[in-house]
Amino acid sequence: MKKLSLWLITLFFISGLVNFNVAQENRVNPKIWSQSYWQQMAEKGLVELAKPGQLPAAEYSGSQIRAITVDTDDSPDVPVTTNPNTTQSENSIFVNPLNNDKVLNSNNSTDNPVSTVFGTSAFMTTDGGQTWAGQIQGTGGPNSGDPAAVISLNGRYYVGYIADNLGQGVAHSTDEGNTWTHVQVAPNPGSIADKNHLWIDNSPTSPHEGNLYSAWTDFGGANNEEIVISRSTDNGLTWSTLQNISAAVNAGSHNQGVNISTGPNGEVYVAWAIYDSFPADETAIGFTVSTDGGQTFAPAQRIITN
C-alpha cells in the first residue's frame, strides 16, 4: 500500500511538472522582441502575424550624418547590397583598427517578402565604404539575428547574435569575413537569450587586450529576466560560464538592452535599461564594472532614475 501511494505521488508530481513546462512553452512573453521568437509563437498558433502587404516605393529626400563629435557630412549613400530580394535591418558596424578603410557591417537579414530569417548578414568594404561585398546568409550558418560586430587588433572579425536554437552565439572569421565559424556561447535558457551585445578590448595598454565580452537578457532558467555575461580569452574559441550581473538592482519586471564598453586599462563597463512596471517605459539605468578583465563584477547599481 505504501509503495502504491508513493508511486501515485511520484506520478502526480511528474504529471504536474510536465503540465507546468507545457504551459510555460505555450505562454507568449511580450517582453521578448526577437523576430525569430514571434515566428515560433505564430507557428504554434499562439499569435497571428501581420499579413504581408505592398509598401509604397521609398522617396529619396537626402541624407546627412549629424553627430556632436563630427562635422555634418553629406556623403554619397552606398548600398551594402543591391539584392532586391532581401531586407537588412538593425545594423551593426565596426571599423578595422588596423586599417580604417576596412569596415565590417552586419544586419538582421531575411528574404523579401519575409518568409525566412537568415540571421546576421556580413558585408565588408576595403575602400572606406565606396564598394561592398559579402553575404545575406547568416554568419556561421542560419541564426536568429540581433547582430553585434567587432574586429580585434589581430584582424579577426566577429559577429555576435541570437543562435538558431535561441541561445547565444558568436561567429569568427580569420579571412576578413569571407568565411565564418559559429561558436555556441550559451544554450537556450528556456525561452530565449535576447537583446545581446558584443564588445572587444582593443586597448593596447590593457592587460586583457583581445578579451571578448558577450552579454544579453536570459528569458527562462535560473537567471530569468536578468543580464548575464560571458567572456572569451582565446579569440572566441571558448566562452566562460555565465555570470548574472544585474540581480542587485532588483528590477520590478526585467532588465534589457545591455551595452558593453572597455577602458584603457582593461576595465569592463556594462549598462542596461531597468523595467520596474512593464509595459510602462524603463524606469532606470543599471550599471556595473569589472576591473579584472571580466572575472568578477561589482554589485550592480541604479545610476539614473526617471
Least confident of 6-15, 48-57, 182-191, 261-270: 6-15
Residue 41 or 204, more confident: 204
Cα 273 to its chain centre, rounded Å, is: 15
pLDDT of residue 34: 75
pLDDT of residue 55: 66
String of DSSP letters for 137-148: SPTTS------E
Q: Which CATH class name applies to 78-305?
A: mainly beta
Question: How much of the chain, in percent, has pLDDT values that exceed 70?
Answer: 89
- pLDDT above 90 (res 43): no
How far apart CA 202 and CA 173 sit, in angstroms, is 17
For 36-45, 145-154, 156-165, 211-220, which range has the lowest pLDDT when averaged over its residues?
A: 36-45
202-221: per-residue pLDDT in tens?
Answer: 999 999 999 999 999 999 99
pLDDT in tens, 117-129: 999 999 999 999 9
What does the pLDDT read at residue 101?
A: 98
What are the CA-CA distances from residue 30 to residues 21, 47, 219, 224, 229 (Å)? 18, 11, 11, 14, 23
C-alpha cell of residue 273: 535599461
Strands 226-232 and 243-244: antiparallel
Q: Whole-prediction pTM value? A: 0.85
Mean pLDDT of the chain: 89
Nearest CA-CA partner of 198 in 153, 245, 162, 247 = 162
Query: Is residue 23 classed as helix, strand or coil in its secondary structure?
Result: helix
